[in-house]
Amino acid sequence: MVTQMNALALTKINKKIFYVFFSVSLCASIIFGTAIYLIVKRSYKIHKPAFSEVSQGSATGLGISGRPSNFIQPFVAISPNGNPYIAWTELNRNGLHIVYWDGTIWHQIGTESLTISNNNSPQKVSRHPVFAFTNDGLLYLAWDQANSIHIAKWDGHGWHEVGDGSIYGNGITSSGDVAQYPSLATSADGSVYLAWQHYVANKPQISVKRWDSDNWDYVLNPYSKEEVFNKSHAMFIPKIAINSEGTLYLLWTEGSSYLQSYHVAQWNGVDWTDIEHGTKNTVIGYTKNPFDITWEYDGYVFYMENLPSFSVAPNNDLYIAWPDDLTTIAVRHLPFGYTNWTMLDYKATFDTPPDPVIITGPDNMAYLVWQGKIGFEFGVYALYWNGSSWQEVIKGSGHASGIGKSGSLLNFNPAGAVAPDNTIYIAWEVGSFNQRYIYIRHKQP
């Protein structure tokens, strides 16, 4: 009897011990599992793909511009060693700034500001900076100022003229008519090509010059003192690019306040010819009502500063983007070796005119970036082409404020580039009409 009672007691004790052990083990497992989940979740949150600041404060507060002023017109490019460079205009001081990111800090190129004039007149402001690198790392910077086109070269120690008078005076353009909107491209042999919009008899035309390390000559007629691409139409905001085979392309806009058309030509060594049919007159697209989608007016046509946008992918495919209306960003794609453009239009509802930028990466991926207003948000937006449709680069990058600054602050003039490791860099202006800062974000692979 006693033995049976002891056995029962031991059984109850063993059950209690089992239940206690089971409960403790279960609790420990839950706690441990929860901890692992939170660690994994936190790690994913930290490392998941996102458009994050390049450095602390690069897309908050005063941005990389660093102080209150009126900073506008950012331009982004990637150096041969993969570092992002960004240039912008400072209206208050009439100067240009250019910095680069070495992976740890931002470095100024030269002095704080490459100031071309101390005159506070708006006509003396250095605007529309663009730059390009040669294969050996030389940096060329072009801009317009005082109705003329200027260019300088950075050799690692200082800014130098590219030909006599390229920085001061009339730059590389003649006196008199207004010259604006430079575009730069460099070739594998070290040649530098510079295009711009130049008024002739009050009509905007396009000029293209080449620097051969000794002289600036017009591409079409090296012996001309003044040359424009075509005198029969008003032509605006040229964009030039060179593919890996050395082919030089020129994109431009023609039109009036009622119709804008977009054209691309390539240089064959003798003349500018259309890619598709061998003429200069084939139109690749239109904006049929520019009043609905454009902002600035120069006497001939309203337009936006990114209009149109042009990119050559590493595989030599061509991409062009422009705002068609408040429901469509028109995108055209020409695969290398083909002569027919394909439509990759992006359809949406835009509350304000989109200002698109098309960029391509080393994996030949095309990215569409634009600024505008969707609903109650002013934002900067980013999509990529997956081969059949436009998709958000990250969740949320195509709606609300996108990757931009939400709230009442406006977002202007996006610019972007893709590094060799497929990191995407996007910069833009944030602020009001009389005080703006430069923001930049990136998305790592």
pLDDT digits (tens, 9 = 90+) for 425-438: 999 999 887 889 99
Question: What secondary structure letter does DSSP report for 124?
Answer: G
Residue with tokens 């691309």: 264
Closest CA to 356 of 375, 380, 336, 374: 380
CA distance 92 to 9: 91
Percent of the chain with pLDDT over 90: 48
* pLDDT score at 354: 86
* pLDDT score at 293: 52
* pLDDT score at 297: 44
- Largest Cα span, the chain: 124
* pLDDT score at 233: 77
* pLDDT score at 103: 95
* pLDDT score at 208: 94
CA distance 306 to 330: 13
pTM for this entry: 0.85
Please compute, for residue 154, the number of CA atoms within 13 A of its CA located in the half-sphere on the CB side. Answer: 20
* Residue 151: strand pairing partners: 142
Q: What is the pLDDT of residues 379-407, one digit of tens each?
A: 999 999 999 999 999 999 998 889 997 66
Worst-scoring range by mean pLDDT, 29-43, 60-74, 233-247, 363-377? 29-43
Worst-scoring range by mean pLDDT, 180-184, 232-236, 312-316, 317-321? 232-236
For residue 105, pLDDT over 70 is answered with yes
Say if strands 285-287 and 272-274 run parallel, antiparallel, or are unpaired: unpaired
For residue 118, pLDDT over 50 is answered with no
CA 24 to chain centre: 58
Say if strands 84-90 and 71-78 run parallel, antiparallel, or are unpaired: antiparallel
Q: Which helix (H) or strand (E) element contains residue 81?
A: none
How does residue 318 score in pLDDT terms, banded at 50, 70 and 90?
Answer: very high
For residue 292, pLDDT over 60 is answered with no
Length of the chain: 445
